[in-house]
Chain A
Amino acid sequence: GAVVSQHPSRVICKSGTSVKIECRSLDFQATTMFWYRQFPKKSLMLMATSNEGSKATYEQGVEKDKFLINHASLTLSTLTVTSAHPEDSSFYICSALSLAASTYEQYFGPGTRLTVT
Chain B
Amino acid sequence: DAKTTQPTSMDCAEGRAANLPCNHSTISGNEYVYWYRQIHSQGPQYIIHGLKNNETNEMASLIITEDRKSSTLILPHATLRDTAVYYCIVSYGRGGSTLGRLYFGRGTQLTVWP
Instruction: Classify chain B's interface size.
Output: 20 to 34
Number of interface residues of A (CB under 8 A): 25
Q: Is the CB of A108 within 8 A of B101?
A: no
Instruction: For the complex formed, measure the closest distance between the CB of B7 and the CB atoms of chain A, giving whole angstroms.
Output: 15
Q: Is the CB of B104 within 8 A of A34?
A: no
Q: Is the CB of A105 within 8 A of B99?
A: no
Q: Whose C-beta in chain B lies nearest to the C-beta of A40? A: B41
New A-B pairs, 14, CB < 8 Å, besides A32-B99, A43-B2, A44-B38: A34-B101, A44-B104, A46-B102, A46-B104, A49-B101, A95-B44, A95-B102, A104-B32, A104-B49, A105-B49, A108-B36, A108-B44, A109-B43, A111-B43
Q: Is the CB of B43 within 8 A of A106?
A: no
Q: Is the CB of A111 within 8 A of B42?
A: yes
Is the contact region of chain B dominated by helix, strand, or loop, or is it mixed?
loop
> For window 23-67 of chain A, which residues contact chain B by CB distance below 8 Å?
32, 34, 36, 43-46, 49
Binary per-residue interface labels of chain A (81-117) against chain B in the complex, 1 for a CB within 8 Å, 0 otherwise: 0000000000101010100010111111111010000
- Give A44 to B107 CA distance when docked, in angstroms: 10
Which residue numbers of A lie inside 8 Å of B, CB to CB? 4, 6, 32, 34, 36, 43-46, 49, 91, 93, 95, 97, 101, 103-111, 113
Is the contact region of chain A dominated by helix, strand, or loop, or is it mixed?
strand
Q: Is the CB of A104 within 8 A of B101?
A: no
Q: Is the CB of A104 within 8 A of B94?
A: yes
